[in-house]
A and B are shown apart, each in its own frame.
Chain A
Amino acid sequence: MSHSPTHPAEPVDGAARAHADESAQRLVPLRAATSKDVSTSDPALLPTPHPQSGQQSFAELYEDRLRDIWRAVHGTGPDAVVGVDAEGWLLVREAVFDAGFLSALTEAVLRRSMESAAGEEPFEGNPDAVELQVASATENMPEAMLERFVRGPLAATVERLERQNATREQVADIVLRPLRKVAGRPEATMLGMRLLGYVQGQRERTLGYCLTVAIIADLLGESADTESSYASLIGYHSALRGVWELLTEGELEFEGRARRFTATNTANLATEMWKLIEASPSTPEERERRHRVMRTLKMMAAVAKEAPDIEDAAATAVLEGLGVRAAPPRAALAVIRTIGIGVADLWSDDLPDQARLLSAGAVAAATMDESDRMAAAFFNAGVTLLQSDRRETSTVIWARMVLNLLGMRWGLAEDGTPAAFIAGDGLDCAVNLLGSAVEHRRLNRPDPPAPPELHRVARLVLGLLDLMPDHPDNRLKASRISRSGRILEAEPLPLSDLGPLTAAVDEAISALRTAVAGTRPEEADPLLDTARTVRWVFEDLLGRPSWPLADRVAELVAMREHAGDVFARGYAEYARPLDDPYGTGPLVPAGMLTEQEWAERCARLLGTVPDSMVRALRGFSL
C-alpha cells in the first residue's frame, strides 16, 4: 500500500460537519423559532470532530500510480530528480491530468459498477489497480447506490482478491473506500469492527499495515456512541503499538511517514479518549489521572508533529505577533498548533491562559493550511472566557466580542458562500458575538459603548436568518440570533453574498480595538493582524502580560530533537507487556478500565478474526 506523504492532520476542536450537505437543502427563512433556552450565547464548547480519513483520495492514489509509472521507465521516482527531469515530471503530470484520464476512469468504473450483474466483478487487475478503481467509483457514487455496490461488485472483487492471496491489508484498504462514504452510520461501524478483526489475521506488520488499522479506527470514531469510541481507541492503540514495536525493534526509522503517523494517531487516540472521559463522570483526582495520560499522548503528538511549510522569518513574525518566544520558530508553531487545538484545560487551570492557548492554536493552525479550524478554536476561546468568574466584566465581554469576530472573519474567508458559512463554525461565532453584545448592552453604563460597526454586523447576521435552511441544528441558533437582535434593536439587513458581512466584521474588529486603545496599528497581513489582535486581547485588554504556557511550549519544542525517544519511552507504558497480545493500553493507566475489562474489550474486537470479508459484504445493508 502506498500512502500520501501528506498525512491528514490530527483532530481539533470544531463544529461537527454532520450537516455539511445542508447547502444542498432548500433555503427557507427560519425566523422566530421558539426555545426554552433563554441565553443568547452558546455556552458549550464545540464538539471535537473526528479526523479526516488517512486514506488517500482517488486523485492522490492516481498520482502515486503515475509516480510508479515514472519509476518503471526511469528507474527512480520523480522526487529523486532535479533540473530537466523535474520539469519532465511536471510535464507528464499536467498532461495526464489535463488529458481527462481521471474523469474518464470515474465514468467507466461507475458505468461498470452499475451494469455489472450480481456476482460479476467489474474491476480487473491487482489490488492496487482495484483500489484505484474502487476509489474512483465510490468518491463519485450516490449514497443510494452504495449498498448494491458493496453487496455485489465489491463483494465479488474481494472474493477474487482473497482467492488470489491479496493481503488482508490490501482487502481492507479497498473495503474502507465505500465505508468512508457512510462513516458514522451504524452499518458502516459494524462492518468496520469486523474489518478490524479481519486485518488482525495478517502476520506481517508494516507501517502500511498500521496505517490501515488506523484508518479503520478513523471510521469507527465517526460514530457518536461510546462503544464505537472504545473500538476506535482500541484500533488506534493497536496501530500505534504496531509502529512502536517496529521502532523499538529497529525495523523503522522515526522520520517521514512514521513520524507523521505517530503525530496524527497519538492525537487521534487522545481525541477518542477525551470522548470517553466526557462520557463518564469523574472525581477531580480521577480527572487528573486521566489528564496525565492525555497530556502524555498530546506531548508525543506535539513533538512528532511536522513543522509548517513556511519561511522561518514568517514563522518568527507570527510568534512575535502572538507574544511567544521559542526557537526554532516553525517547530514552536507545530507545538502550539498541537496542544492549542484541542483540550486546553490539560495544560492549565487558568481560564484566560486556556483561552489564549486556544487562540494561539488557531493562529498556528493557519500556518499549516488548516485555517478551516480557526473559527471553532476562537469560538471555544470565547466560551472558555465565558466560564471565568469575571465573565460579566466589560473587559471579558469585550474580549469575547473580539475573539468571536476573529472567528467570524476566518469562517467567512474559509466558507465563501452564505450557505457554507451557515453550515460552518463561523455562524456559531456570530451567535456568541451577538450574545456578548447583548451582555455588553446590559452592563450598567458600559465604557466604552459598543461601536456602531458592531451594530451593523448584528443587522447583517440577522439578515442571514432568511438564508438559513430549516434544520434542527439551526433552530436554536436562529432563536438566539433573533432574541439578541430584538434586545439590540437591530433590524435585519438583507444579504445575498458575504462581502458586506466580511467588510463589516473587519471594521468592527478595528472599531473595538480603537474604542479601547484609542489607536489601532495597521497590518496588511490578515494572519499577522489576527496574531497581534490575540496578543492585544490577552495582554492589553485582559491585562495579562505574561503567559506561563509559553514556557511549556518552549519545553516541548526542545523535546522535538528526540521525538523518537519521546514516543518510544512515552508509549512503552501503554504498549507493554510485550507478551500480552494487546498491551496495557492507555485506559488502564488512566483508571478508566481495569486490566481485565481492557483485555476483554480487545479480545472481543481484535480476537475474532474472520477468514473472509465476503460474507459480511454480501450482508451489508444501509
Chain B
Amino acid sequence: MSNRTVNINVHHVTRIEGHGNIVLNATNGKIEKLQWQVPEAPRFFEAMVRGRSYEDIQIIVSRICGICSISHSLAATKAVENATGIQVSEQADKIRLLMHYSEQLQSHVLHVGYLVAPDLFGVPSVVPLVGIAPGPVKTIIGLHRLANEWSNLLAGRITHPVTLRPGGLTKIPAETQLRELQDRLKKCLPDLKAVADVVLSVAGNLPKFERPTEYVALKETKAPRYAFYHGEIASTDCAGTVAINDWKTVANEYVSDQSTSKWAKWHRASYAVGALARFNINADLLSPTAKAVAKMFGLQKGCCNPYFNSVAQIVEAVHVVDTSIQLIDELLTKGLKQETISVSPKAGKASGAVEAPRGILFHEYEFDRKGNCMSADLCIPTTQNHANIQKDIEKLVPEILDEPEDTIRLKLEMLVRAYDPCVSCSTHMLDVKFVR
C-alpha cells in the first residue's frame, strides 16, 4: 500500500487538440481528487445552425474541428441527405469514401508522428526529434504531405472540404489524377512500414496497463468491409447492430456530479471509441498487410490497453492505403462520369454517422419543408471517450502511485493523448473549477 503524497496539476495538456486538464491530489497514499477536466470555450454549434439552409449545414459544422473536418462534413451531409430524402450516386459515394480515407491517414500520421512519438522518444515535441531521428521524421512529413494532397484532390481543400453538397460532389477528379494518386499510395506503403518499424523499436515505452471496457464502432452489415463510412453501430458487449437513427440509445449522454464533462455510457459505466474500438470490432476485415503490422506489435482483437490506440492507428493507416488502392481500381474500371446535382429537399428528421479518426461520430438534424434547419444534435467521439478516460485514470493511478511524480504525470498525459482527444469538437462540455 502506497503512502505517497502527490499533487499533479497538468493545466492544459499539450499536444492534443483543444484544452484539457488533469488533476491528481493524493495524501498519504489516499487519492483525494483525480479528474480529467475540460475547460474549452463552448461554441454552441447546435444552436447556431438553426434557421440555416440544408445546403449550408456542412459549411458550418465542418468548423467544429480542423483535424476531422472531413468526417464532420460527411456525417452532416449524410444526415442532411437522410433527413431530406436526397439520393447520392454510387460513384459519389465511393469518392466520398476515398476522401474519408485520406483524413484517416492524415489524422493518424499527425497523431502518431507528431503528437505521440515525442513521448516514446522522451522529448517535449517533434522539433528535437528532427535532430534525433531525421530519417523517420522526414518520412512522417512525407506521409502527412501525401495525405493532405490526397484530401486536397478530392475535397478541394486540405481542411474544411468544399466539394461536398447534399446530393453528391461539386467536382469529380480526373482519371489521370486518380491514377497518379494510386501510384503514390502504392509507393508510400514501404514508408508506412518504416514508420511502423520505428514505433515498434520504442513500443516498449508504451505503459503496460489494461482495463477491460466496452468498445463501440461502426460495423458494415451489407459488405464485409472494415467500417469507416458505412454501416450500423456495434459493440463488443452485445451481438447485432443498432440503426444509426437510434444512436441516442447507445450514447445515453448524462451529467455526472463527480464529472467535468457530459459522459456517455451504454452497457457499462463507460465505453471507448476510436481506432482500438474499430480494431476490436472489425480486425478480421483488415487488409493482409495491415494484419501483418498488427501482428508485429502483438496487437490482437480484445486488446484493452488504451495506450495501444496509437498502434491501432498505425495498423489502420496501412489498411486505408491498401483499401484505397483497390477502391481507385473500382472507380477507374467503371469509368468516371461527370455529375450534375439537382435536388429538392423535403421535411424530415434523421441522423448520419461516420468513424472520425478518433471514433464514431453522430449528427442529427431536423428540417422544415423549405429545407431550413429546425434542430440539431451532435455527439462527438471525444465526448463518448471522456468517461472512459476518467475510469482509466482511476484504475491507473493506484497502480503507479509509487513511481516518481514525473513518471506519473507522463503516464497520465500519455493516456489522455492516446485517445487522440479532439476537445474543440466535444460540443457537450461541462467543466468544474477546483480549489487547490
A and B are interacting partners = no
Residues of A within 8 A of B (CB): none
